[in-house]
A = this chain, B = another copy of it.
Amino acid sequence: MSQTVKISEHELTNLGIKAFCKLGLNPVDSAKVVKILVLADLFGLSTHGMSRVESYGERLIVNGINPRPNIKVERVAPAMALLDGDNGTGPLVGMHSLEAAMELASEFGVGVVLARGSNHFGPISPYSLIAADKGYASIIGSNATTTIAPWGGTDARLGNSPLGFGVPNPGGKHFLLDMAMSVVARAKIRNAMKRGEDIPQTWATDQKGLPTTDPKSALDGFLLPMGGHKGYGLALMVDLFSGLLSNAAYLTHVKSWQDNPGEPQNLGHFYVLIDTKFLGSSAWLSKKMQDFASILTESPPANSAHPVIVPGELELSKLELQRREGITLSADTLAIIKKYAGEI
């Protein structure tokens, strides 16, 4: 673990905008990208936050990502649009998609945007938060570079595609869920290897597709989806909605940004937004959401040191704390941002 520094949301945002402007984005687009990445850092999701300026930057420099995309929204039906991200920076395409879907939902009750021509768009929870703050419930997904073998198969043919849900709690804590499909992230397997420990048989397979407890074999093999065939099915459904229906790439058609940094990935996303104003008042929703949370958190904990929590609670508490006291960021990440921003 590298050294960490504290930085305010305001300062990190300004530095980030400067960095993306130097990488060729215009100021408005830079601000949209940085909004998502800084929210990720505020949530404590540092692997999906401003640290991404490094990989995004490498690809922007070699034109693997288009810094000045011409993003087009095609309204294929009254409440549904196809969005062409023109290989723009992922969170920029993501923000355009979100905004278009919210606009449709505010008029029709529900709005769907299927995006193609995109790249890694950060975590999902920042989008769900922005939507929930405005009263929208959301179902959002994206496909991803292939890292998972089909259930029972022996080579990587599907991505660890994230799926997220958000339900607003006006004036209180929204319910936010942002999940990838593997049982654990690769980092957890790397940590077990460092400690010389075996891993549970449910985490990963070796190169031959057989379950393994050896972290080294697991890192040479494939992550296993949560719930076995259920997670496999869910990952495919996310890819069908975000990749296939949107006319983006899917499964092995998605190019690896690590192997091919200079080529477009053509990732896809899907956004389903529901405007809760049509379902009832803010007071109605807030009362229900409070009741819903209480029923759960009042279950006596199995371990008194770990009371029951609800989805999004940890991230939203961290956001409040870090908005007040500053964001904990790795010193290395800050140095990279400053380098791109031309400040060192």
- Is A112 positioned at the interface, with any CB of B under 8 Å from its CB? yes
In chain A, residues 76-91, which have Cβ atoms closer than 8 Å to a Cβ of chain B? Answer: 76-80, 82
The segment from A11-19, A20-28, A48-56, A152-160 that touches chain B is A152-160
The segment from A36-44, A65-73, A304-312, A327-335 that touches chain B is A304-312
Across-interface contacts of A232 in B (CB, < 8 A): 311
Kindly provide the distance from the CB of A103 to the nearest chain B CB, expressed in whole angstroms: 13
A311 to B227: give the CA distance in the assembly, Å: 14
If A139-B272, A167-B240, A241-B167 touch, whether A300 touches B155 (CB-CB below 8 Å) is yes
Partner among B109, B151, B177, B301 whose Cβ is within 8 Å of the Cβ of A308: B151
> What is the interface of chain A mostly: helix, strand, loop, or mixed?
mixed
Residue of B nearest to A246 (CB): B279
Across-interface contacts of A109 in B (CB, < 8 A): 76-80, 112
- Is A179 positioned at the interface, with any CB of B under 8 Å from its CB? yes
If A152-B307, A233-B179 touch, whether A292 touches B78 (CB-CB below 8 Å) is no
Question: Chain A residues in contact with chain B, CB under 8 A?
Answer: 76-80, 82, 107-112, 114, 137, 139, 149-155, 157-158, 165, 167, 175, 177, 179, 183, 202, 205, 208-210, 226-228, 230-234, 236-237, 239-241, 244-245, 247, 250-252, 272, 274-276, 278-280, 288-289, 292, 295-297, 299-303, 306-311
Nearest 4 A-B pairs (CB), nearest first?
A77-B109, A80-B109, A153-B299, A226-B227
